[in-house]
Every structure is written in structure tokens, then in C-alpha cells.
Chains A and B, each alone.
Chain A
Amino acid sequence: MVTSVTNFGRNGLSDFLVQRITSVVLLAYFGWLAYVLVAGTDYGQWQALFATTWVRIFSAAALFSLIFHAWIGMWGVLSDYVTERLMGAKGNVLRFLLQLAIGAALFIYMVWGFQILWG
């Protein structure tokens, strides 16, 4: 079994499943959001909508899904292109640094999102 310290669930099968489950949550969220926006809304309605508990929970679920989905997805891209095979030993260092930067960006997205929802 292939294991890695920088993937998400420590093995590829769990990453594969998490990637799919989170994609369904994201699809549902963006679909719902598109419906709301196309139907038309004003500030009062929009504000009231995001004050309801279910919308906040749904948004939080989408936010968590985004973090996991993007971590796994970007890990897959990095581990294909930024590698020892293509760049030599510095590929490993660079990939690790990029994964750190991606993690930091996702952390910011998450904190920012929660601040919007509950701040």
C-alpha cells in the first residue's frame, strides 16, 4: 500500500472516497446557491437567509468539504508534477513547501468563512 505523510487520509483509497463525498457536498451547495441567486434576492432576504441555522450549517459543511477536497486535489496535482523524478531532490522540498502554502491558504479560507458566517 502506498502511504505518504502529506496526503490527507494516509492512504489513497480513503483520499479517493473523501474526494468523492466532498465533491457531492460541494455540488449540492453550489447548486443551491445558483438557484437562490438566479431566483433573485435582495439584501434583506440574503441577510435573513444566512442568519438561519440550516444555511450556516450547510455553509460550514461546504467549507469543510472545500478544505479537504482542495487539499487532496492539489496534493494529487503536486505529486504528479513537482517530484524528485522531474526535478531531482529539490522537487521533494519544493512540493512540501507548496503543500504547506496550500494548507495555509485553505486555513485562511476556513477561518475567513467562519468569521463571515458567525462573526
Chain B
Amino acid sequence: MGIQGDSLVKDTRPVNLDIATIKLPITAYASILHRISGVFLFVAIGVMIYALDLSLSSAEGFASIAVMLDSLPAKMVVWAVLAGLIYHSVAGVKHLIMDMGYGETYEGGVLGSRITFLVSVVMIALAGLWIW
């Protein structure tokens, strides 16, 4: 604690805090999105359990989901939940593959992140088609 803060040499170099000019590698975006989607899913799972509850409660409950899914806001919510689930899962599989020792280099990480984004975008688009 504090060691990083109290440097021995007086440091007068300028600090760049203009976020718009900071460029991060693609691996950083893949990583933070996995975290954001994970936190999002913690909340979204409530919507999923609610839908499961309703769908199994009665024939009317099951039918009312279909009715609800005719409305644009509900479609958007379901799509957002699926998008979060798809991205978190695809990036999660990349995690598992790298944990097994494959692609643990910078180049491997960049390639893995590109594949993760590509596969996720395609699957999220397909999920959108399925909903509409």
C-alpha cells in the first residue's frame, strides 16, 4: 500500500488522462467486455428465471410470453440478455482454451480476441433474426 504512490524521484513527466486518445489493444476490450457481460448476466439471469417460471406456470403463462414478445421493448430486452450470454460464453470458452495452454502469447491473444468478436457478432445477429 502506498509504495506505488510515493515515488522516491520527483516525477514531473506529463500524465495523459485524455481517454479519447488512449488506444488499448483488442485483447483489453475482449477482457473488459467479458467482465461487463458477466456482471450484466448476474442481473439478467433474474429475467431468465422469471421467463422460465412464467412458461411453466400454465398454458396461459406460456402463451403470454409469446404475446409479450410481440412488443419491441420485450424483444430488445431478450436480445440484450442473449447478446450478453453469447458474448460471455464465447469469451469464456476462449478463456478455457487459453487456460489449457493454447495461444498464450500476445499474438495468440489478439487472434483469440478477433475470433471471439467475430463468432459473437455472428451468433448475436442470428439470435436477433430468431427473435424477429
Contacts and interface: CB of A to CB of B under 8 A. Distances in A.
Given A74-B39, A102-B42, A50 B56 contact: yes
Contact of A70 (B42, B49, B62): B42
B52 interface: yes
A116 interface: yes
Interface string B38-72: 11011001100100110110010011000000000
Interface string B1-27: 100000000000000000000000000
A3 interface: no
Interface residues of B, number: 24
Interface in A46-76: 46-47, 50, 66, 70, 73-74
Contacts, number: 52
Contacts of A70: 41-42, 45
Interface residues of A, number: 25
Contacts of A66: 45
B30 interface: no
A112 B49 contact: yes
